[in-house]
Structures are given as structure tokens and as C-alpha cells.
Structure 1
């Protein structure tokens, strides 16, 4: 059953948090997205001091009986990487419900993640590092940008010390890309925020760090592990396939990291529009509100990395798709919401895999 027949305008958030080594903490953050508060809204939560009021977090809502499970929100997937110390939580909902669900998950994350002690291979700026909003069906990128800005304003109002930079459709009017913003902010090296001026919020508290919030067409994460410990070789491959390279793969951003004793080529695969139809088997296409989007096939991406690695005498070990393709995300969201499955990540293997 399609989302249009269900009467839903669906969007997804791939919430990136700087925690993967405490499974119970990550799942607690994911579950927070599934609870609504029966009309109760606590103005601010206390991150640093003992609570004198009821905290607006999953634990307090559950213990005090303030919340009930939200039937129109689902957590589709949780992907955690120990070495990176980073998790991606896929939250899907009708667009009008997404802000409060993501807000609840973020507030829980800020309670339990401290950037002053966080360690991991993957670069990051914040406890809640990245909040991208993507359209799935019946809603456009422009509206997702407005949703992202609303979320940024609510988050900085509710969490003391939280600060935000905006990207993509939320970064009005410049609409700078996530890559541009990360370069400007020193994504790979910054842990000192004293000279930083965020887009929304005050100077970041060290515990919270800086959170990126934005909207764009769907972005997949596809990681390919090469059978080597040579980081230079991995960086060479990543450089060649980047879309910014004249001969690179359009819509692909790539980095190389040491990972589990080998080198992983970590790729963001962006969806993009084109004025002319693209007839090429390496691209997959989908449509939202009359807009045609394209993205590189994960199979083609893997084949290109395999070839480039082979040219250096290196094999590949495997490929991991972090979550879903755009169509898979839409299909899973429709099914989960129709069946009212909030904790879909626990059931997906028996349904779709």
C-alpha cells in the first residue's frame, strides 16, 4: 500500500549520534523518538545539574508515566560502529510528526553523551552530530528545510548549551552543502568552540558540541572495506571516486578510515536532480512530487572501488549499506506505520530481509 493511499506525507531523519559502544544507551535514544507526552511540554531540560523539575526525557517520561508510544512514528534502523563510536538511527514519520520525535531523541542523547570524553575514529563536532531531514513521499525538499529550521530552533530552546549550524535547504538563503559547512567549521580537527559563531544558539558547551541540522534529497551511506592496512591507498581511492573530482562519481563523497584492522572507504551517496533524463545503468532513479532524482547504484560504486583497489594489488572484503536506499526507506516506513510497528529495527530482518 503506497503512502499516498495511506494519506501520509513521509519524511525521514538519519540521526547521527556520537555513541556506539553502549548499546543500551543507543537504544534508549532511539526509543525516545517513539514517545509522545500527552500534551505536557517541559520548557528546558537540565543537562548539568540535579533535576528540580520533571525532565523532558525518555527515562523521566517512562518512570513518571507522562508519555505513551506514538503510533505514527517508527525507528526503521539502528546502525552502530564501535571503531567510529558513531550510530545512525533512522526515524520515519509523517512530516508533521517528525520534529517532536527527533527532538525527543536528541534531548535524550544530550543527557547521556559527553563530548569532553567522547573518543572515536570518525570525525564529529557534537554529541548529536548530524540531523539530516529527507523527503520520502508526498513532501518536497523545501518543506523539509522548513522542518529542519523549526527543529533547530526548538532544540536550542530546550537544551542549554546546544548550538546548531545549518546546511542544505535549511541554510537559507545560501543553501550551503554539508561538505561546505563542515570544511568551514573544521570538522576533522575542531574540539575547541570558543571562536565559533553558530547559526542558531549560543556558543556551544563543550559537553554538547555543535550539531548540524539540514535538509536535502536522500543521502545513503555505503561503506566498502578493502583488504589492506594502507591508509594512503584508501585515501587515493576515495579521492578518485569523489564527485568533486572531474572524473569522479556524481553525488559521491568519500573518506578513508582505519577500521577493524583494515581500511574502509566510507561513502555518502547523494540523490540529485537533473534537468535532462539520465540514461545510464550506473544510476538509479526515483520520483517525489514530480521531481526526478538520481543516485549512484551501490553495486556500481562497489565495482568501481573493487577495480581501483585491484589496480593497486588490493582486494575488497565487503560492502555495508548503512540503512536503506531511498525506495527501501519509503517502503519500510509505509509498512511499519501501517502495521504500527514503532521498533521496526527489531523486526525488519523477518519482514524485508
Structure 2
């Protein structure tokens, strides 16, 4: 599919257990001209679905508004339980410029979608990251603080009036954070212990706010189905904090508690450069260039 402007979006929906609902939401991105569904994954512990989609601005806008409406219809946040912080049925919708597109154009798309979806469905929207209208709204963690359960009270404060939509939560849909940002990598590391407090302690040391790696947000959660604890991370700038750097620091901190890393996962689509950096580091390749990757020579 040839696109003039490439914009990526990675919407996160608060449903990872009912696959029929997930499929109905994902159908919004299937077989739509100008839109390409790249990937989607579910996690029952997080109770969350992460979709990765690429498209032209207008077709992507139409598909996203449809997906938001389907999520508002199907997901009841008053009954939602999961390990991952969330404020709404569509928790967050980032837009990432990929090719022939600026961060300003991604921001404009986010605003147009928020305005239209708020009018259609009564869902409040907060602009975050590069789209934020105030410094305290840049960080998604600040918007999520208190989660869905505390959001109605939080929104009584004028500092937390939504950028689009009603001044109160949608009764079952909650609210949504939306905005433009640079590529983010969701990277999770599993430990050979069910003790979630160990994962939380490691996360505190690894994340930026705790004095760890500059471009890492992290927390510890329990993977109940696997009887493991997990350090779940967002790498907000992989060019400055690498996947392998985060991995090695978690391994080092795990030794403090006598536990080992037993696996990791990258959620969704990631830039090839991030993975090539890992290969170059672990294989100790000298004078490596991306021009040596065969697939990059295929048009």
C-alpha cells in the first residue's frame, strides 16, 4: 500500500479477556482503504489490547473514530479489572509521525479525532505528550493517577478539566488520553518469582523518576496465570535509552533479590533500529551498518 503520509497509531483498549469484543474493535481497522492493521495483541493479566495501525490521516481518522465508538459500546469500566493502570475503555491513543509527516500533523490528527469522538460518544479526552495543553498533562502517568476509579473526583478540579468532551467521565467509558509523540517501546521482563514486591522494587530503581534510566517508565506487576512477577516498562526514546540497556539494568537489580530473568517481550511493532542496536551490542559486532540488512534493499 503506497502512502503519501505515514502516521502510526497504537491505541490501547481496556479489554484483553473477551476476544469477541477485541475482534469487534479490531474490525474497525480491517479492510479499510488507506489503513493497514499491522499488529494487535491481548494480555489477560493486564486486561488490555494493544493495536498497531498505519494509515493516511483521513482514513486513519475515520477508522479510529469507529474503533472508539465500538469500545465505548462494548467495554464497561465499572466492571473492569486488570494489572495495568487505565482511565477508560480506550485508555490512550498515541499518533507517531513515520514518513513525510511532522509531529505537528500528528498532533492535528489527534485533536480532530478527539473533537469528533467526544461529540459522537460523550467520551472526554485529555491531550498528552507533544499535544499537551499544560505542563502537568505531558506525562501520561499524571493523567492516569487515580485511575478510572478516582477520575470522577479528580475531574472536579479545574486543573483536570478535559480538553474535549464533557467535564465528567463517561459513566462506562471513563476518559481517554490522546496525542502526538515520538516512537515508544513497550518492553516487559519476567522474573522467576511470583513476588510482585520484588518487581516493584526493581522498577523503582530502573525508572527515571526513581533515579534510574532517563527515558524509562516502569512498574512491577503480577502475571497471575504464569505465577510470575513482571517489570513492565515504556522506553520513551530508544535512541537514548536502549532496549539492551534497560534489560541489563533489570538483570543487575534482580541479582540483589536472588532472582533471575526468565524471559522478555516487546509489545507491538518497534523500529528496526532498536532491535539492530541489541544485535550489535550482544554480538559485539564491529563497524556494523543497517545497509548490511538484506531486507532494507527491497523496495
Task: Give the TM-score normalised by the residue count of structure 2.
Answer: 0.82
Aligned residue in 2 for 1:256: 220
Please say if 1:230 is aligned against 2:195: yes
Deviations 1:52-86 (A, max 9, x none): xxxxxxxxxxxxxxxxx322211111111101111
CA–CA distance in structure 2, aligned partners of residues 316 and 149 of structure 1: 41
SS state at 1:157 partner: helix
Aligned length: 267
Structure 1 unpaired stretches of 5+: 35-68, 272-283, 285-293, 330-353
| Aligned equivalent of 1:32, options 28, 33, 53 | 28
Deviations 1:150-191 (A, max 9, x none): 11101101113x1111111222364842335326x5238525
The answer to whether the 8 Å contact 2:215/2:241 transfers is yes
| Aligned equivalent of 2:262, options 317, 335, 338 | 317
Deviations 1:179-208 (A, max 9, x none): 35326x523852545636322111112211
Q: Report the RMSD for the aligned CA atoms in angstroms.
A: 2.3
Question: Superposed, which structure 2 residues align to 1:55-66 within 5 Å?
Answer: none
CA–CA distance in structure 2, aligned partners of residues 191 and 263 of structure 1: 28
The answer to whether the 8 Å contact 1:167/1:175 transfers is no
Question: Superposed, which structure 2 residues align to 1:245-324 within 5 Å?
Answer: 245-246=210-211, 248-260=212-224, 261-271=227-237, 294-324=239-269
Deviations 1:232-270 (A, max 9, x none): 221111111112333x21211001111132111110111
Aligned residue in 1 for 2:205: 240
| Aligned equivalent of 1:16, options 8, 12, 16 | 12
Structure 2 unpaired stretches of 5+: 275-299
CA–CA distance in structure 1, aligned partners of residues 148 and 174 of structure 2: 14
Deviation at 1:310, TM superposition (A): 1.6
SS state at 2:178 partner: strand
Question: Superposed, which structure 2 residues align to 1:66-105 within 5 Å?
Answer: 69-105=31-67
Aligned residue in 1 for 2:172: 207
SS state at 1:296 partner: coil
The answer to whether the 8 Å contact 1:9/1:137 transfers is yes
The answer to whether the 8 Å contact 1:145/1:168 transfers is no
The answer to whether the 8 Å contact 1:144/1:169 transfers is no
CA–CA distance in structure 2, aligned partners of residues 117 and 189 of structure 1: 11
CA–CA distance in structure 2, aligned partners of residues 191 and 127 of structure 1: 13
CA–CA distance in structure 1, aligned partners of residues 121 and 273 of structure 2: 33
CA–CA distance in structure 2, aligned partners of residues 327 and 104 of structure 1: 30
Deviation at 1:299, TM superposition (A): 2.7
The answer to whether the 8 Å contact 2:38/2:269 transfers is no
The answer to whether the 8 Å contact 1:75/1:90 transfers is yes
CA–CA distance in structure 2, aligned partners of residues 137 and 7 of structure 1: 9
Deviation at 1:28, TM superposition (A): 1.3
Task: Give the TM-score normalised by the residue count of structure 1.
Answer: 0.70
CA–CA distance in structure 2, aligned partners of residues 328 and 8 of structure 1: 22
The answer to whether the 8 Å contact 2:129/2:140 transfers is no
Please say if 1:172 is aligned against 2:94: no
Deviation at 1:95, TM superposition (A): 3.0
| Larger proportion of helix | 2
